[in-house]
Chain A
Amino acid sequence: MTTPSFGTLSFGIVGLAALVLVAIGPPGPRPVRTDPVAASPPPGVSAGGFTISSTSVDLPIDDGVYPDGPHADVINANCTSCHSASMALTQPRLSAEQWMAIVKKMRETYKAPVVETDVPAIAAYLTAMSGRLGRGSLDDASGHTSSQPAGKDVTG
C-alpha cells in the first residue's frame, strides 16, 4: 500500500544531455534577481505539453492601524512597515516579558528601525491590548469603560 505515486511521465521526455544549459559568468556573491516588469508581460513558455504563462497580480494593500490606546501613535509609527498590525493583534494574551521579547526580536533579528527609547511604550501598548483578551464578557458588563473603541464604533 506504500507504492510510490510518482513516476516519470510518458510525454515531454528528452534526454538530460539534450538540454542546452547556459553557463553564467564567474561565481558572484549572489545571482542577479529578476526584476518585476512594469509593462504587460509576454505570454510565457511551453514544452512537453505544459505552458507556464507570465503572471502579474495586484495584492491587496493593508491600510489597517493599531486601534486607539495609550502609545498607539508610537506603535503605528514603528510596527506597520514590514507586516500588518494583525500580526500582533491576532496574538494570544501574552505577558509583558513576552511582548518585550517580541519587540526586541523585531529590532535585533529582523532589523526593525525602532529607536530604543520607543521600546517601553510599544511593549506597554501591546501588554495592555493583550491583557484585554478573554475578558470580553467582563468588559461588556462593565459598560464599555475601556480606552479602546467599542465594536459598534468601528466601521468600514
Chain B
Amino acid sequence: MDRFDTLLAHATSRRRLLGGIGIGSAAAFAGPGLAETLANLALPGGPSERPITNAFPGKGSMILQRIHPPLLETPIEVFDQDVFTPNDRFFVRWHWAEIPTSIDATTYRLTVRGHVARQLSISLEELLRLPRVEMAAVNQCSGNSRGLFEPRVPGAQWRHGAMGNAKWLGVRLRDLLDLAGIKPGAVTVRFGALDQPVVAGAPDFGKSLGIDHARDGDVMIAFGMNGEQLPLLNGFPIRLIVPGWYSTYWVKMLNDIEVLPGPDDEYWMAKAYKVPATPGANVAPGAKNYPAVPISRMVPRSWITSLSEDQTIAFEAAIPLGGIAMGGDAGVARVDVSADGGHTWYKSVLGPDQGKYSFRRWDARVPLPRRGRVALMSRCTSTSGVTQPMKPIWNPGGFMRANVETTHIIAA
C-alpha cells in the first residue's frame, strides 16, 4: 500500500473513530489486518484508502471521508441488498461544523416568512397533523463519484456511495406555502437550517427553488425515512425532499422557509454548486469563461452491485449480473449490460417499480467472452429517453458524473 495512504488512513481515523474495531488495532494500519479496517476506493492516482468507521450516532459501518463535519460514504455492497438504503447506512454530508447535537422535538419550529400574507411558526405536532404524502426518492450528492474525475478535481473525494434511496414520509411544501399565502410577485423560495458556519461572516448554508418548482406538489418536507424518524445526521427532525434533483437542495434540519420577490443571490446559490450550461455539464479540462447555472435535475445512472472491482469468479459461459439504476428526473425504462467493453449489449430484467424517483433493481445474464480480465458495464435509459453516455464528462466542480461505469472482474 502507498505509504501516503497509510498516513492518511491514520490522519482520518484517529483513535476512537474506529468504533467497534478497538483502539489497539490502529496499529493494524501497517499490518495484515488492513483489509478489514480500510476501504479502497480505487480513485485514479489516489489517495484511495479510507477507514471504515462505526463511531457515528445512528450509523453502522460507513466509509470515513471526514470526521468534522461528518462526510460518510455508503459502501457499494449495501446497494446490492435492497433498493432502499437502510437509515443506518445512508450517506452523510454536512458543510459547516456547527451542527446541533441535541434537538427538542417539542419546541422545534419551522418558520415560513418573507413574501407571504401570514408569517407562520409551525410546530412538529402541527406538521404531523397535515395531510401526508410518501414517496420513494434517490438522494444523490452533486459530487457523487467526484473522485473518479480525470483530470482529478478538488472537493470531497467520493466514489459512488454519496447517494441513497428511501421512502420519505412528510407533507407537501405546497400545502405549507398555501397556508402562509404566497403574495403576488414571489419568485424564489429559500430554505435555511439549524447548522451554522464556524466563523462569523462566513456564508450560512441555504438553498432555494423557483416558486413554481416549490409549489409543484412533489417537493416535500419529510419527517419519516423508511418508516422511522430521520437520523440526526440525515437532517433530524425534518428535511426538504426535492425528488429528481441533486441532494444539495435537500436541506437538512430545515427550520426556515423564506419566500423572496427576486432571485436568491447568496453564496450557496449564486456561486457554489454551479455547472457549465453545456450538454451534460461537460467542458474541456481547464476551460474557463463558460456560462454556468445552478445544478438542478439528476440524470440516469446505473451500477453493478453484485460483483465488485477486481473480484475473481469461476469462469462460466454466462454469469448472473445485478445492480441498481436510477432515471434521474424520470423513471428507469431499461438497463442493458455488456461484458465486452460496450460492443454487445444484453437486456436486463427490471425489478419492482417503486416510483419514478426511486432506485430500480435490475438483473441479467451475460455471456463471458473469455477467461481472464473482463470489463462489465451497465447502461440505463430513462423513461424520458435519455441514455447514459459512454464517455465521462469533466467540469471543475466534479459534478454530475453519469457515464457508463465499468467493473473489472477476473474470470479464472
Contact = CB atoms under 8 A, between A and B. Distances in A.
Given A3-B353, A92-B157, A98-B154, A36 B136 contact: no
Contact of A133 (B17, B46, B178): B46
Contacts of B164: none
Nearest to A56: B102
Nearest to A82: B198
B11 A5 contact: no
B357 A60 contact: no
A16 B6 contact: no
Given A21-B126, A57-B232, A64-B12, A36 B103 contact: yes
B43 interface: yes
A112 to B, nearest CB: 7
B353 A93 contact: no
Interface string B185-217: 000000000101111111100000000000000
Nearest to B111: A31
Interface in A1-32: 1-9, 11-14, 16, 18-24, 27, 30-31
B134 A9 contact: yes
Interface string B132-143: 111110000000
B60 interface: no
Interface residues of B, number: 117
Contact of A33 (B17, B26, B255): B255
Given A5-B357, A34-B107, A52-B229, A18 B129 contact: yes
B32 to A, nearest CB: 13
Interface string A56-69: 11111111111100
Contacts, number: 312
A contact residues, range: 35 or more
Contacts of B107: 34
Given A16-B178, A59-B56, A156-B24, A31 B255 contact: yes
A20 B126 contact: yes
B289 interface: no
A-side interface mostly: loop
Contacts of A58: 57, 101
A24 B123 CA distance: 12
Q: Which of A19, A27, A52, A149 has the most CB of B within 10 A?
A: A52
Given A2-B330, A31-B256, A36-B102, A87 B66 contact: yes
A133 B45 contact: yes
Contacts of B65: 86, 90
A140 B96 contact: no
Interface string A34-71: 10111001111111101111111111111111110000
Interface of B: 1-8, 10-17, 19, 23-27, 29-30, 43-47, 50, 53, 55-58, 64-70, 96-97, 99-109, 111, 113-114, 118-126, 128-136, 147, 152-154, 156-157, 169, 175, 178-179, 194, 196-203, 218, 223-224, 229, 232-233, 236-237, 255-256, 267, 271, 330-331, 333, 353-358, 383
Which 9 A-B residue pairs are closest in the complex by CB-CB distance?
A5-B355, A156-B26, A151-B6, A136-B2, A92-B152, A47-B128, A57-B57, A6-B135, A62-B67
